[in-house]
């Protein structure tokens, strides 16, 4: 613990972070510990947890969820090579979760130059645009359109199922708007707020959709959302690239 640094956090978070770090030091052989999330940024919500990224040189990865001082914590344990794998796969998926944690988190423990190297790599990843190919975008567009069409098919006979499918379709359409703009997809709890910056009219439609009391209203509004994002309301012609199997 003598080589660790801690952010100035109020209790119960400060005590919880120290207890979590003690647990990590006893359980693993870390060369780096990075604390991230809303608690560390100083704007926790009632359900916020501590996100702790542990870098070690052992050839395994592990995820641990535990309570410390009554505060939930998620602990991600990875060797450097696996972190690099996450950087690339998450960039291709347009959701750089690992890069965001490492680039914006607080360095609690740094025993190896690889920690700063990975943090610099994380910043480089965030500075690059997503890497979604036209084929991937086309497939995601197809999936959202298919869900919308399925929901419309059952809206008259099974409004509850229609609402469920429409919610998933609209979520996919909103994600698509970010991919279409070559921007990373925000977390769902930040999605509509991020749309206020990217596309205020789409953000308004999204709020109207989720506030709508009747399924017919949701169908109509989600159609407008489809027109603004995936630009189709159902079947369209496309084909995937041939793949060797």
Residue range 150-197, pLDDT digits in tens = 999 999 999 999 999 999 999 999 999 999 999 999 989 899 999 999
| DSSP string covering 137-173 | HHHHHHHHHHHHHHHHHHTTT-HHHHHHHHHHHHHHH
Q: Is cis: bond before 33, omega within 30 of 0?
A: no
Domains, in order of start, for the chain: 13-127 (3.30.460.10), 134-228 (1.20.120)
Q: How far apart are CA 151 and CA 135, in angstroms?
A: 25
Q: Does pLDDT of 131 surpass 80?
A: no
pLDDT of residue 240: 84
> Could you give the percent of the chain with pLDDT greater than 70?
100
Rg of the chain over Cα atoms, rounded to whole angstroms, equals 21
Encode pLDDT of 34-80 as tens digits: 999 989 988 888 888 999 999 999 999 999 999 999 999 999 999 99
* Average pLDDT of every residue of the chain: 95
Do the Cβ atoms of 72 and 65 come closer than 8 Å?
yes
Q: What is the predicted pLDDT for the residue at 4?
A: 97
User: Would you state the structure tokens that stand for residue 164, as one six-digit string?
Assistant: 């469920």
């Amino acid at each position: 613990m003598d080589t660790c640094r801690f952010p100035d956090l109020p209790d119960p978070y400060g005590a919880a972070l120290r207890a979590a770090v003690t647990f990590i030091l006893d359980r693993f052989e870390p060369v780096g510990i990075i604390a991230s999330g809303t608690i560390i940024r100083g704007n926790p919500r009632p359900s916020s947890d501590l996100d702790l990224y542990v870098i070690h040189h052992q050839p395994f990865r592990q995820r641990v969820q535990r309570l410390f001082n009554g505060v939930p914590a998620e602990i991600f344990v990875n060797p450097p090579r696996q972190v690099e794998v996450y950087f690339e796969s998450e960039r291709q998926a347009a959701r750089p979760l690992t890069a965001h944690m490492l680039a914006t988190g607080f360095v609690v423990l740094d025993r190896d130059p690889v920690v700063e190297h990975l943090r610099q790599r994380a910043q480089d990843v965030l500075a690059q645009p997503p890497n979604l190919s036209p084929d991937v975008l086309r497939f995601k567009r197809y999936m959202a359109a298919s869900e919308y069409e399925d929901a419309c098919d059952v809206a008259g006979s099974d409004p509850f199922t229609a609402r469920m499918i429409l919610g998933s379709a609209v979520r996919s359409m909103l994600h698509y708007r970010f991919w279409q703009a070559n921007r990373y997809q925000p977390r769902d709890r930040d999605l509509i707020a991020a749309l206020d910056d990217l596309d205020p009219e789409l953000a308004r439609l999204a709020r109207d959709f989720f506030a709508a009391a009747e399924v017919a209203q949701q169908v109509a509004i989600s159609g407008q959302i489809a027109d603004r994002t995936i630009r189709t309301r159902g079947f369209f012609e496309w084909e995937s690239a041939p793949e060797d199997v």
